[in-house]
C-alpha cells in the first residue's frame, strides 16, 4: 500500500502524451494543439462596417453637432458586395454590417440616426443624418486590428474549445496538428453484474460503473469503448482484457480487492501488464490497481483496475484516471488534476484514521468565500451521494472537522452561486 501523493506521482511519470496527428479542424474539438496555428489573412481582412447605416466622410460631420447633414446616397452595399464608387463629401453609401467600407468613407453613421423618414434611403435618393457625437472611424473595424497575416493566433498547448475552433477557421487552418483522442476501453467485472436494462434478481447488481465511467471518459474528451461485463471466470476476464489492451487505456472495475474472485491483478500480470502500484492509502478507493503494458513498438496501454464500488470507482477516476487522460491528451500540467481550493465546511466531517478521505460535497460561492456542504453519503457503494457533488472534501489522515472549519476541496464542477 502506498501514499496518495506517491501514487499520483507514479501516474504522472507513467503516462505520456499520445503522438500528435494532423486532423481535420472539424474533428479536432477538445484536442490540445501540438503545433501553433498561423493566420494566412489579416483580421479583419479589410475595413469592415460594424453597423447597418451610412458610410460617410468625416469632413461632412466635422462641425455638424445637432444639425442634420443631407447626403446623396451613391451606392447600396449589402455584405459581400463590392463597389468602385468613391464616397466624397456630400455623399454616402448605404451599408450593411459586414460589408467592406468603400474608398473615401471614414465612418459609419447608424441607420437609427437617419431622420424625417430617410432611414431606407437607397442609391439615388437622399438621407438626412443627425449624429451629435460623431467620431472619425466610428463603427469601422479596421483591417488587421484583431490579428495580421502571419501572426501565430493559437500556440501549441492550447485546447481547442469553441472559440479556438472559430479562430482557427478564420485563420484558414483546415487541418491542425493535435494530440488524438485517447481510446479508452471499459470493462466491468463481476459474476453478480447485470446490464442496467435488466431488473436485478436477488443477489444481482446493475452495472453502474460501465455507463458512469464511459461518461467520465467522454467528458474529458476521450473515446469510450464499452466492453460490457465479464463474469468472474479467468477465461472470460482474460479474453476481454486482451481485447481492451488494444486501446490506449483500459479501465477495469471490480475484482481488484482481496477476495477469492478478485482475479484481475493476476490475469493482467499473465497478459504482460506490469504493475506500477496496487492499493493506495485512501478512502474510498483503497484497492485501486495501476499498471502499463509496453509493446515492442514502444506503444503502451495504461491499465487501471478501479474498485468495484461505484463511489470508489468515481473517486479513483477523478484522482488517477483524469490526470492520465489529461497527460495523454497533451494538456498542460495545470490541467492534469481537479482544481483545489480552500472552503468553509457547513457541517462537520469525520476522517478515517490512517487514510485520507474524500467526501462528496456541494460547493457554493458566497461572495469571496467558498462553502462546502457535505452531502448525505452512506459509503463507497452509494453513488447517489456523488450525484450533484460539485466537490470532494479532502480530509487528511487523522483529521476530523467541525462545522465552520476551513478545509481543502477538489472542485469537480463549477460551484453554484449561494
Ligand atoms: P469487487 O471489488 O469486485 O469485490 O466489487 C466490490 C463491490 O462493488 C461489490 O459489491 C460489487 O458487486 C460492486 N460492483 C462491482 N462492479 C460493479 C459495477 N460495475 N457496478 C456496480 N457495482 C459494482
Ligand atoms: Mg467482483
Give the pLDDT score at 260: 78
pLDDT at residue 11 is higher than 80 = yes
Q: What residues line ligand 1, using a CB cutoff of 6 Å?
A: 188, 190, 192-193, 205, 207-210, 253-257, 259, 307-310
- Entry pTM: 0.90
Task: Give the phi and the psi of residue 305 in degrees, each rounded to 5.
Answer: -100, 100
Give the pLDDT score at 225: 98
Which ligand 1 atom is at minimum distance from the Cα of 381? Answer: 8
Residue (of 146, 158, 145, 143) closest to 37 by Cα position: 158
Compute the distance from residue 172 Cα to the ligand 2 centre, in Å.
52
Average pLDDT on 151-156 reads 97
Residues 371, 363 contacting (CB under 8 angstroms): yes
Residues 6+ positions from 379 with CB-CB distance below 8 Å = 284, 309, 311
Cα–Cα distance for residue pair 167/28, rounded to 1 Å? 13
Ligand in nearest proximity to the CA of 195:
1
Give the pLDDT score at 163: 97
Average pLDDT on 392-404 reads 96
Q: What is the DSSP letter of 40?
A: S
CATH topology for 340-417 is Beta-clip (2.40.340)
Cα–Cα distance for residue pair 237/74, rounded to 1 Å? 79
Compute the distance from residue 193 Cα to the ligand 2 centre, in Å.
9
C-alpha distance across the termini of the chain, in Å: 40
Which ligand 1 atom is at minimum distance from the Cα of 207? Answer: 20
pLDDT at residue 164 is higher than 90 = yes
Compute the distance from residue 310 Cα to the ligand 2 centre, in Å.
12
Q: How many residues does the chain have?
A: 418
Q: Given the C-alpha cell 463603427, which residue does it identify? A: 139
Q: Confidence class of residue 65 from pLDDT cuts 50, 70 and 90?
A: confident
Give CATH for domain 21-43+145-178.
3.90.105.10
Give the pLDDT score at 240: 98
The counts of H helices and E strands in the chain are 7, 27
pLDDT at residue 418 is higher than 80 = no
Residue ranges near ligand 2 (ion) with Cβ within 5 Å: 190, 254-255, 308
Residue (of 1, 18, 3, 32) closest to 319 by Cα position: 3
Give CATH for domain 48-141.
2.170.190.11
Residue ranges of domains in the chain: 4-19+180-335, 21-43+145-178, 48-141, 340-417
Give the pLDDT score at 352: 87
Residues 256, 287 contacting (CB under 8 angstroms): yes
**Is domain 4-19+180-335 classified as CATH 3.40.980.10?**
yes
pLDDT at residue 347 is higher than 80 = yes
pLDDT in tens, 274-303: 999 999 999 999 999 999 999 999 899 999
Grid cell in block for residue 85: 464608387
Q: Quick one: 177 exposed, middle or buried, by C-beta within 10 A (0-12, 13-18, 19+)?
A: middle
pLDDT in tens, 22-34: 999 999 999 999 9
Q: Confidence class of residue 261 from pLDDT cuts 50, 70 and 90?
A: confident
Compute the distance from residue 309 Cα to the ligand 1 centre, in Å.
5
Give the pLDDT score at 160: 96
Residues 276, 290 contacting (CB under 8 angstroms): yes
Q: In sequence order, what are the beta bridge partners of 392?
A: 360, 410
pLDDT at residue 270 is higher than 90 = yes
Ligand in nearest proximity to the CA of 209:
1
Which ligand 1 atom is at minimum distance from the Cα of 256? Answer: 2
Amino acid at each position: 500500500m502506498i501514499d496518495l501523493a506517491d501514487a499520483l506521482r507514479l501516474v504522472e511519470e507513467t503516462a505520456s502524451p499520445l503522438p500528435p496527428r494532423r486532423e481535420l479542424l472539424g474533428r479536432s474539438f477538445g484536442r490540445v494543439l501540438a503545433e501553433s496555428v498561423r493566420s494566412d489573412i489579416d483580421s479583419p481582412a479589410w475595413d469592415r462596417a460594424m453597423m447597418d447605416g451610412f458610410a460617410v466622410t468625416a469632413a461632412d460631420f466635422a462641425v455638424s453637432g445637432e444639425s442634420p447633414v443631407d447626403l446623396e446616397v451613391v451606392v447600396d452595399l449589402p455584405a459581400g458586395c463590392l463597389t468602385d464608387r468613391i464616397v466624397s463629401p456630400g455623399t454616402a453609401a448605404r451599408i450593411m454590417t459586414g460589408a467592406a467600407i468603400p474608398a473615401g468613407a471614414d465612418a459609419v453613421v447608424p441607420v437609427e440616426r437617419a431622420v424625417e423618414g430617410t432611414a431606407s434611403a437607397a442609391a439615388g435618393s437622399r438621407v438626412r443624418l443627425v449624429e451629435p457625437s460623431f467620431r472619425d472611424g466610428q463603427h469601422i473595424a479596421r483591417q488587421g486590428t484583431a490579428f495580421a497575416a502571419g501572426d501565430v493566433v493559437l500556440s501549441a498547448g492550447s485546447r481547442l474549445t469553441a472559440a479556438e475552433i472559430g479562430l482557427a477557421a478564420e485563420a484558414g487552418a483546415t487541418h491542425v496538428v493535435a494530440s488524438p483522442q485517447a481510446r479508452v476501453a471499459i470493462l466491468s467485472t463481476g459474476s453478480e453484474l447485470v446490464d442496467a436494462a435488466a431488473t436485478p434478481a436477488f443477489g444481482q447488481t446493475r452495472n453502474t460503473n460501465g455507463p458512469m465511467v464511459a461518461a467520465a471518459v467522454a467528458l474529458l474528451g476521450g473515446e469510450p469503448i464499452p466492453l460490457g461485463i465479464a463474469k468472474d471466470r479467468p477465461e472470460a476476464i482474460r479474453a476481454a482484457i486482451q481485447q481492451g489492451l488494444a486501446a490506449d487505456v483500459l479501465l477495469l472495475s471490480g475484482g481488484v480487492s482481496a477476495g477469492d474472485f478478485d482475479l484481475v491483478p493476476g490475469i493482467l500480470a499473465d497478459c504482460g501488464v506490469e504493475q506500477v502500484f496496487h492499493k493506495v492509502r485512501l478512502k474510498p478507493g483503497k484497492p485501486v490497481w495501476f499498471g502499463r503494458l509496453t509493446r515492442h513498438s514502444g506503444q503502451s496501454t495504461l491499465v487501471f483496475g478501479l474498485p468495484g464500488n461505484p463511489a470508489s470507482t468515481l473517486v479513483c477516476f477523478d484522482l488517477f484516471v483524469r490526470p492520465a487522460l489529461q497527460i495523454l491528451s497533451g494538456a498542460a500540467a495545470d490541467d492534469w488534476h481537479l482544481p483545489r481550493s480552500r472552503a468553509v465546511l457547513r457541517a462537520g466531517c469525520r476522517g478515517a484514521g490512517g487514510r485520507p478521505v474524500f467526501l462528496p460535497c456541494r460547493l457554493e460561492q458566497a461572495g469571496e468565500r467558498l462553502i462546502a456542504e457535505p452531502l448525505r453519503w452512506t459509503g463507497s457503494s452509494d453513488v447517489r451521494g456523488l450525484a450533484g457533488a460539485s466537490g470532494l472534501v479532502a480530509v487528511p489522515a487523522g483529521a476530523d472537522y467541525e462545522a465552520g472549519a476551513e478545509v481543502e476541496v477538489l472542485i469537480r464542477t463549477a460551484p453554484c452561486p449561494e
